[in-house]
Structure 1
């Protein structure tokens, strides 16, 4: 953030004014960028975009590194991951089975492959049968500065795509039942992975895709509904840490998508933001999130979609065949969070 503050100072010196707080709309004319201590710093859109353009040049010249590791979990090793790489020796010596469907799971800012969301999601899928669950660990997510983690999203996504392409081309891993699941910044990593695969990924699940420093009007620089045959977004802290406008072909708004019940005094939004991962793991294992179809996302946000449940369940494995549009999702404040048995 220090880089942004310096740029903001230079911009202020040049223009002699910045946006008043009342005029700020995060994601439209700037962003409230999260800090590691849980606070937020406002950055005007022109300042942020100038800095990001400069950083993109440095990234493209290879002046920064983007370490990415992959850990494979299967029914044979459900809790201890096998570190794998895109080499014949590595995959041949692992438990990877191309005959089973594959799920990639990608964490967000400040996290690693040992994060609770990864444990919960991999356990949920392995509880459904035989899967290859590959958890992605990207080191740049643990940068103290959120903005520098954002700058690594594209290159990280391309490295995920390289692994997908290797497994598809050399081991026959099917793209037709491949899911790439990402939380927050990891959702945009999933989007870049989908943009760079040799063929179309079946499904991408974006768990509260990160809003700060991403623009709804720049779909090629974020997760968008064209990055896979089906893209689902579960939006739980919209307008703060996550997007409020719909990202996926199927966009789901638990409790209206801004804040979540049971997240008391959630000033930073971290609790509501993280609930997207908790809900998804529960959805995979219990298929218990009923939904109400809405005419548009504003109706979902304002809980103005009526009270009649649709036939769609949030996070369901069958959604790719039948889902399009925006859905309000009633949720409980405690586990189980889904309200349909």
Structure 2
């Protein structure tokens, strides 16, 4: 209740003193924050940062709770999940196998563990062989208020880290075999998970990391390239729902990273934003996204990187050992989206 009261107070302040529309630069001096109905409301950066500080104080006093659940899929139960807990009894009764690589998958705002992105990414990895795929379900993501979900990102990430640490310390999980894959707000949850593990996870994949209420200039408050041994970002709706500036050590810009072909007018950006999960699942399964190396992200956005394909494939396992920089990714308007056979 206190969280909602704080939000209400700051919303009134924001509406009273917001920057003029001509002065607004999304992500630089404020954000267009998505609403449940698909519209956006402007919030100045200083007002939003006060929200975050207020929430951190509440968390420090133990006044917030963030329910987080974990669902395990393996080759033995590829379509029927096992609800697992950070207890020896729960893990021992599940099909978790520390000899197999582990993939955590984290949804974004308004979604749950049953979201299609989780099913697609889970299916893609299990089609590759023996993996533990753990889908993270965080209930606060389903708040109709985006800001409330943002405020739960840090605590959610810490709970994911707690599960990773438990599996590592008690059940033989090898951090070198761990990927944490998150979409939108879930990408930043993955970042906080990486910041709080006892040791460094191998890879984090940020699927169009959410822009509203996250500052590029505060990497400790969002997913950044130091949160894992390798961080890859697939940026598909940059400047609206996702970041345009590069987030990962390897930053990939399908169709230039702002809008995606086949999405039509896409005024809310939801289609382009969601394409990052579709592309990633296809990349895991088919390894078919060729890339063109760019001098910087501006060249990727303006599609001025030439026409010579590099040896790098977006979403490839080998990227952790060979990728550093920004890449333009040509894509089709319908499946298969990748252009390389």
**Matched residue, 2:137:** 137
1:143-185 Cα shifts (integer Å, max 9, x gaps)? 1111011111001000000100111111111111210000000
1:274-330 Cα shifts (integer Å, max 9, x gaps)? 000000000000000000000000000000000000000000011001000000000
Q: 2:12 aligns with which of 5, 9, 14?
A: 9
**Matched residue, 2:193:** 193
Structure 1 residues without counterparts, runs of 5 or longer: none
Gap change, CA 1:93 and 1:264, over 3 Å in 2: same
Q: How many residues align?
A: 338
What is the CA-CA distance between 1:6 and the residue it aligns to? Answer: 4.0
> Please, what TM-score do these two structures have when normalized by structure 2?
0.97
1:104 equivalenced with 2:104 (yes/no) = yes
What is the CA-CA distance between 1:134 and the residue it aligns to? Answer: 0.2
Equivalent pair of 1:72/1:133 in contact (CA under 8 Å): yes
Equivalent pair of 2:18/2:42 in contact (CA under 8 Å): no
Equivalent pair of 1:191/1:223 in contact (CA under 8 Å): yes
Distance 2:178 2:46 in 1: 38
Gap change, CA 1:116 and 1:164, over 3 Å in 2: same
What is the CA-CA distance between 1:18 and the residue it aligns to? Answer: 3.0
Structure 2 residues without counterparts, runs of 5 or longer: none
**Matched residue, 2:70:** 70
**Matched residue, 2:274:** 274
What is the CA-CA distance between 1:7 and the residue it aligns to? Answer: 2.2
Distance 1:328 1:11 in 2: 37
Equivalent pair of 2:200/2:229 in contact (CA under 8 Å): yes
What is the CA-CA distance between 1:12 and the residue it aligns to? Answer: 6.3
Equivalent pair of 2:14/2:44 in contact (CA under 8 Å): no
Gap change, CA 1:18 and 1:316, over 3 Å in 2: same
Gap change, CA 1:169 and 1:265, over 3 Å in 2: same
Equivalent pair of 2:14/2:43 in contact (CA under 8 Å): no
What is the CA-CA distance between 1:9 and the residue it aligns to? Answer: 3.3
1:284 equivalenced with 2:284 (yes/no) = yes
**Matched residue, 1:254:** 254
What is the CA-CA distance between 1:61 and the residue it aligns to? Answer: 1.3
Gap change, CA 1:11 and 1:33, over 3 Å in 2: closer
1:79 equivalenced with 2:82 (yes/no) = no
Distance 1:121 1:292 in 2: 24
Instruction: List aligned pairs for 1:305-320, cutoff 5 A.
Output: 305-320=305-320
**Matched residue, 1:298:** 298
Distance 1:5 1:290 in 2: 47
**Matched residue, 2:151:** 151
Gap change, CA 1:307 and 1:98, over 3 Å in 2: same
Gap change, CA 1:12 and 1:137, over 3 Å in 2: closer
**Matched residue, 2:113:** 113
Equivalent pair of 1:4/1:48 in contact (CA under 8 Å): no
Distance 1:69 1:8 in 2: 31
Q: Secondary structure, in 3 states, of the residue corresponding to 1:66?
A: coil
**Matched residue, 2:207:** 207
**Matched residue, 1:228:** 228
Instruction: List aligned pairs for 1:5-84, cutoff 5 A.
Output: 6-10=9-13, 17-84=17-84
Distance 2:14 2:296 in 1: 38
Distance 1:12 1:39 in 2: 16
1:62-85 Cα shifts (integer Å, max 9, x gaps)? 212100000000001001100000
1:218-248 Cα shifts (integer Å, max 9, x gaps)? 0000000000000000000000000000000
What is the CA RMSD across the aligned residues, in angstroms? 1.2
Q: Secondary structure, in 3 states, of the residue corresponding to 2:181?
A: strand
